[in-house]
Structure 1
């Protein structure tokens, strides 16, 4: 893990867990050795973070100067919690964890009264859990290919049971309670296709870059959707 990402995870963990947090718990949560944890605490302090405590007593993050104070209405706070609940129902695990970390970071910057409101804005969902088959491939690899504009080769089984191998240019992910899709430009069909990620049985990096065509392709896709709003891209 990159040093910056590791330090950010440590800050997020200290915001999220009840203080004081022992070094052993922080090391476990962030996936580092206790020795590395002590070095990271020293690095954060050197960077201006106010962290009270010491080894054997536990640590408390008292101020994070990297984030300015923010203010939200009670309704906005509830909206953030509701968004996180929805994300937990339709997002993948990595995306849900990222959303929870972002929400904890936001709450940490609120004034004390609003921070207490946020902590008590507990809402419950009574809808049934989504029935969605898990991916058979590394979803992070698909997301990274979208970001880096890298073509990937996939083995795919369509809704009729037919199998094929495709090279696709992945453009973005689409989430719902029942399906997780990747919008892509299929190089076999030379057109836009929506692929069910749980039907991708294997994934390989092709080594081909389609940068900087992603933005233009998304623009073309949106234009086609406006012109044919009653249609959806064919399944892969």
Structure 2
């Protein structure tokens, strides 16, 4: 199926979006490829944006960047962006804990209240659907405690039952609360194992919030976990 070409106003908006999400210069050829138009059209659009005082800088053959001080109305959304938001909110409403699920529906209500009438059907009668919710009935802990500890960089003490039924206590530095279609997983640095571990929340029987900060700033801990994860994925692929 051939994609319907964007209208010129939508295309200008998309160019700004592409430039805004990248920290490196984007060439006209790359922009043309993503938007399925000619490079000549991109050059014309870039000139138009510059003429409207949008802070785009760069040149042909090198690439273009968007000035960091530029801002757009936060709800100047395209139909596809709305579909992405609706699908994401559906998934969170189906798979998140009670607080996240309620908040996801609130977000949709706020968006529906401010988008133009022509975009209302994308929210009221979406063409997307998320999978059925996971069964979180066995969770005995509140996921909000994990998110709070992550944001505040505080340690947690977990009472954990592993897959063999062995009960242990772990003091951890929480990094990410991960969601899948069937489980929730707390990813954390484990002081006992001196390594990163994944703890299924349905196996955590109790959690204590400790009045003690994690051993390093969150951004550094997160970066260490990202390196560890990349190493683990490479190891699995090699076997």
The answer, yes or no, to whether TM exceeds 0.5 is: yes
In structure 2, the CA distance between the partners of 1:146 and 1:226, relative to structure 1 (3 Å rule), is same
Shift of 1:148: 0.6
**Residues 140 and 130 of structure 1, relative CA distance in 2, 3 Å threshold:** closer
Q: 2:190 aligns with which of 174, 186, 193?
A: 186
Match of 1:199 among 200, 203, 207: 203
8 A Cα contact 1:70 1:111, kept in partner: no
Aligned twin of 1:58? none
Mapping for residues 1-236 of structure 1, pairs under 5 Å: 70-121=75-126, 123-124=128-129, 129-210=133-214, 212-230=216-234
Q: Secondary structure at the match of 1:70?
A: coil
What's 1:28 paired with?
none
Q: Give the C-alpha shift of residue 161 in structure 1.
A: 0.6
Structure 1 residues 169, 122: closer, same or farther in 2, change over 3 A? same
Change (3 A) 1:70 1:137: closer
CA distance 1:218–1:194, change in 2 (3 Å): same
Runs of 4+ in 1 over 4 A off after TM superposition: 122-125
Counterpart of 1:21 in structure 2 is: none
* 1:150–1:210 contact (8 Å) kept in structure 2: yes
SS of 1:137's equivalent in the other structure is coil
Residue pair 1:132, 1:177 contacting (<8 A) in 2 also: no
Gaps of 5+ in 1: 1-67
Structure number, greater radius of gyration: 2
Q: Deviations over 1:155-201 (max 9, x none)?
A: 11011111011111111100011110001111111110000111111
Question: TM-score under structure 2 normalisation?
Answer: 0.61
